Chains A and B, each alone.
Chain A
Amino acid sequence: EAQVTQNPRYLITVTGKKLTVTCSQNMNHEYMSWYRQDPGLGLRQIYYSMNVEVTDKGDVPEGYKVSRKEKRNFPLILESPSPNQTSLYFCASRIAGSYEQYFGPGTRLTVT
């Protein structure tokens, strides 16, 4: 089954404790993105990657890191999480030349 997977689905952590949210897709898509979704603000892009070893900042990159060492994986790293990073996070992927995005199931992160 073609899909984007994320782990964990739910995470409660404390300020300053480094965490990683994994994202994997099995569709051989070149493009992968991370979004955060907050009430009233919609989906905002954090980082995106156009292919292996090619990443760039989205609209709200502060406090986040990403890497793309393999085509299928695009982890999101919060090195020192803060309460304002409490949000619902989505990973998405798409094939080059198409804007039809496939979203993962989401990760609800709470930072206390």
Chain B
Amino acid sequence: QKEVEQNSGPLSVPEGAIASLNCTYSDRGSQSFFWYRQYSGKSPELIMSIYSNGDKEDGRFTAQLNKASQYVSLLIRDSQPSDSATYLCAVIRGKLIFGQGTELSVKP
């Protein structure tokens, strides 16, 4: 079992819809969780961090954490073509462990 698992996608949503990206992790002791966005050919950039159960909102982005289910998700409301990218989930287990990423495509 991979330590951090994501569906590789591609996930395709129409412009204006909600995109839902999911991530599961294997280490129940993980405490900190991050979402990075990576445009094609570019480096990852941090867009959200979440440390406690529940939701954390930042503009059109909402991160959701459920430690009991070992599940973290990223919702993107009112998706725009500019949101098309690969989204990487990362958890702390002494160091940052990355998932393989989910490719999101937002169609105009």
Q: Which residues of A contact B (CB under 8 A)?
A: 40-45, 48, 58, 90, 99-101, 103-106
Whether the pair A43, B44 counts as a contact (CB closer than 8 A) is yes
| Chain B residues with CB below 8 A from A58, complex form | 95
Among residues of B, the one whose C-beta sits closest to the C-beta of A45 is B95
Whether the pair B43, A43 counts as a contact (CB closer than 8 A) is no
Whether the pair B101, A99 counts as a contact (CB closer than 8 A) is no
| Chain B residues with CB below 8 A from A42, complex form | 4, 88, 98-101
Whether the pair B88, A43 counts as a contact (CB closer than 8 A) is yes
Q: Is B66 an interface residue (CB 8 A)?
A: no
Interface on chain A toward B: helix, strand, loop, or mixed SS? loop
Q: Which residues of B contact A (CB under 8 A)?
A: 4, 8, 32, 34, 41-46, 49, 88, 92, 95-96, 98-101
| Chain B residues with CB below 8 A from A40, complex form | 8, 100
Task: Name the contact of A99 in the complex, choosing from B8, B45, B96, B100 (C-beta under 8 A).
Answer: B96
| Chain B residues with CB below 8 A from A104, complex form | 43
> How many angstroms from the CA of A58 to the CA of B88 in the assembled complex?
19
> How many angstroms from the CA of A48 to the CA of B96 in the assembled complex?
11
> How many angstroms from the CA of A40 to the CA of B49 in the assembled complex?
23
Give 8 pairs: A residue, B residue, CB < 8 Å, sorted on A: A42-B88, A42-B98, A99-B49, A101-B44, A103-B44, A103-B45, A104-B43, A105-B43
